[in-house]
């Protein structure tokens, strides 16, 4: 490395952190200029600077009393400040200082005599540069002035950190917007791909029903009618999910009165249930108000999991519900394989799976319960689970009962 100026320990990491702030070569900003003006006034110096040091230069983010953008790093007083363990360097008369008397900035323009700098400490305690004041006459800062410089240096870092957070937030928002746009396009394509064969199935079922009715085939007519009803329900579900993917706000806005018995019957009919499944329904046909499509997705996920992760001869599922003016509470319990205690919270995390495969030897994406918790939280509630290995699990959740 260049021996003309000192390097802080772990200089490569310091430069990585400086670059990550993306502050170098950005335009002048009033927030920073206000700090340098205040430093100049408090210390009574004609020059005040906010400097940042990269590999070869010190660059001025803000300056009072100088009309240059920076200097070579080998000439920079601040290159020496950032290696000081105290983070402070004060030179009363650079002309008589062995380290700086031959410096071009002392012998030439701007004719530095007095210098005082405080390091700007960023992430991991790395010095990014300094807040410094300069004069062309001998002087010394009072303890009060030095304390003010420390306070102002912290304000500089706060401004730099704020800009980094805003930039990252904007980047995250852009990525989220792009992801949402992709998902909307994907959902639209899938919905159309599904609706075409569903329409064909419905039309075929209607024609088959008419044909069987003409032949007085009651059993065949009932089977064809079941097929038609299932097709119509699936078409409605596809339409609802398409609406939600295009307008997520309907999850919160489009609430309706739900009759529990009808709702559960319709939801269960959408799931391919093996013959060994027994579902115990609530005894009361309660009425409440929430988003039907969101609640439907919650139950489809929970019921499907109860079936998939069950190794008993008879899969037993029990659903209970209680309703108050403000809240709806549900439990869905099963006699399945159970969940390890150390995984009870992790199962709600995206892309997390506890079992390599279900009882049908099918793998999971690990997004089902993550989606369940997301939907429940959007409906103003929360979810928890208790479980015993080989005995089963019980999911309990509540959501807001929205006013009619």
Q: What is the tens place of the pLDDT at every residue in 10-47?
A: 999 999 999 999 999 999 999 999 999 999 999 999 99
pLDDT at position 2 is: 36
Arithmetic mean of pLDDT, 370-378? 89
Query: Which range among 150-154, 164-168, 203-207, 274-278 shows the weakest confidence by mean pLDDT?
Result: 203-207
Q: What angle do CA 240, 243, 249 make, to 5 degrees?
A: 115
pLDDT at position 223 is: 80
Q: Structural domains in the chain?
A: 11-141 (3.30.450.40), 254-404 (3.30.565.10)
Tell me 125's DSSP state: G
**pTM over the 0.85 mark:** no
Given a cut of 80, whether residue 354 has pLDDT beyond it is no
Of the pLDDT bands very low, low, confident and very high (cuts 50, 70, 90), residue 3 is very low
b/e code 282-308 from CB counts within 10 Å (16+ = b)? beeeeebbbbbbbbbbbbbbbbbbbbb
Given a cut of 70, whether residue 184 has pLDDT beyond it is no
Sole residue written with tokens 């230069």: 57
Phi, psi of 155 (to 5 degrees): -70, -35
Distance CA 34, CA 305 (A): 60
pLDDT at position 241 is: 64
- Reference 305, options 394, 398, 187; nearest CA is 394
Helix, strand, coil % (nearest 5) of the chain? 45, 20, 30
pLDDT at position 1 is: 33
CA distances from 353 to 233, 391, 394, 397 (A): 30, 19, 18, 21
Distance CA 68, CA 217 (A): 95
CA diameter of the chain: 115
Strand, helix or coil for residue 195: helix
User: 56 and 1 in contact (C-beta within 8 Å)?
Assistant: no
User: 63 and 49 in contact (C-beta within 8 Å)?
Assistant: yes
pLDDT at position 28 is: 93
pLDDT at position 270 is: 78
**Computed from CA positions of residues 219, 224, 227, 229, in that sequence, does the dihedral angle turn out positive or negative?**
negative
Given a cut of 90, whether residue 378 has pLDDT beyond it is no
The fraction of the chain above a pLDDT of 90, given in percent, is 62
pLDDT at position 25 is: 95
CA distances from 177 to 184, 251, 365 (A): 10, 18, 23
Mean pLDDT of the chain: 88
Q: What angle do CA 274, 276, 281 make, to 5 degrees?
A: 90
Arithmetic mean of pLDDT, 172-191? 69
| pLDDT tens profile 59-111 | 999 999 999 999 999 999 999 999 999 999 999 999 999 999 999 999 999 99
- Reference 168, options 119, 123, 121, 125; nearest CA is 123
Distance CA 302, CA 296 (A): 10
Distance CA 183, CA 396 (A): 30
Question: Between 351 and 373, whose confidence is greater?
Answer: 373
Given a cut of 60, whether residue 54 has pLDDT beyond it is yes
Query: Which range among 49-63, 247-261, 281-295, 325-339 shows the weakest confidence by mean pLDDT?
Result: 247-261
Structure-block tokens of residue 73: 């790093």
Arithmetic mean of pLDDT, 289-317? 92
Of the pLDDT bands very low, low, confident and very high (cuts 50, 70, 90), residue 175 is confident
Number of other CB atoms surrounding residue 137 within 10 Å: 10
Q: For residue 60, with 0-12 CB atoms within 10 Å meaning exposed, 13-18 middle and 19 or more buried, which class applies?
A: buried
Distance CA 330, CA 333 (A): 10
pLDDT at position 229 is: 76
pLDDT at position 31 is: 95
Strands 57-64 and 70-72: antiparallel
């Amino acid at each position: 490395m260049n021996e003309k100026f000192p390097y802080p320990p772990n200089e490569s990491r310091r430069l990585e952190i400086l670059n990550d702030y993306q502050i170098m070569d950005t335009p002048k900003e009033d927030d920073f200029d206000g700090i340098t003006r205040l430093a100049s006034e408090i210390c009574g110096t004609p020059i005040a600077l906010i400097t940042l040091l990269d590999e070869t230069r010190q660059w001025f983010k803000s300056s009072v009393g100088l009309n240059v953008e920076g200097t070579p790093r080998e000439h920079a007083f601040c290159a020496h400040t950032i290696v000081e363990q105290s983070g402070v360097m004060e030179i009363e008369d650079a002309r008589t200082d062995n380290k700086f008397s031959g410096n071009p900035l002392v012998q030439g323009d701007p004719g530095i005599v007095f210098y005082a700098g405080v390091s700007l400490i960023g992430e991991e305690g790395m010095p990014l540069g300094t807040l410094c004041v300069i004069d062309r006459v001998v002087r010394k800062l009072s303890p009060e002035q030095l304390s003010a410089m420390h306070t102002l240096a912290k304000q500089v870092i706060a401004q730099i950190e704020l800009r980094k957070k805003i930039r990252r937030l904007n980047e995250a928002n852009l990525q989220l917007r792009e992801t949402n746009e992709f998902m909307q396009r994907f959902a639209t394509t899938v919905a159309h791909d599904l609706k075409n064969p569903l329409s064909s199935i419905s039309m075929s079922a209607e024609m088959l029903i008419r044909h069987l009715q003409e032949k007085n085939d009651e059993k065949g007519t009932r089977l064809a009618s079941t097929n038609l009803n299932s097709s119509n329900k699936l078409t409605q579900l596809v339409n609802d999910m398409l609406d939600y993917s295009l307008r997520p706000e309907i999850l919160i806005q489009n609430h309706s009165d739900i009759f529990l018995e009808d709702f559960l019957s319709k939801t269960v009919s959408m799931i391919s249930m093996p013959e060994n499944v027994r579902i115990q329904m609530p005894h009361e046909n309660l009425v409440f108000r929430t988003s039907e499509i969101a609640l439907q997705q919650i139950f489809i996920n929970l019921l499907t999991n109860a079936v998939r992760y069950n190794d008993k001869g008879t899969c037993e599922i029990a659903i209970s519900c209680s309703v108050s003016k403000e809240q709806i509470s549900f439990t869905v319990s099963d006699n399945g394989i159970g969940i390890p205690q150390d995984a009870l919270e992790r199962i709600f995390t995206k892309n997390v799976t506890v079992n390599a495969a279900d009882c049908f030897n099918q793998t999971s994406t690990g997004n089902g319960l993550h989606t369940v918790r997301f939907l429940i939280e959007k409906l103003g509630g929360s979810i928890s689970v208790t479980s015993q290995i080989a005995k089963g699990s019980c999911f309990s959740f509540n959501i807001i009962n929205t006013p009619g």
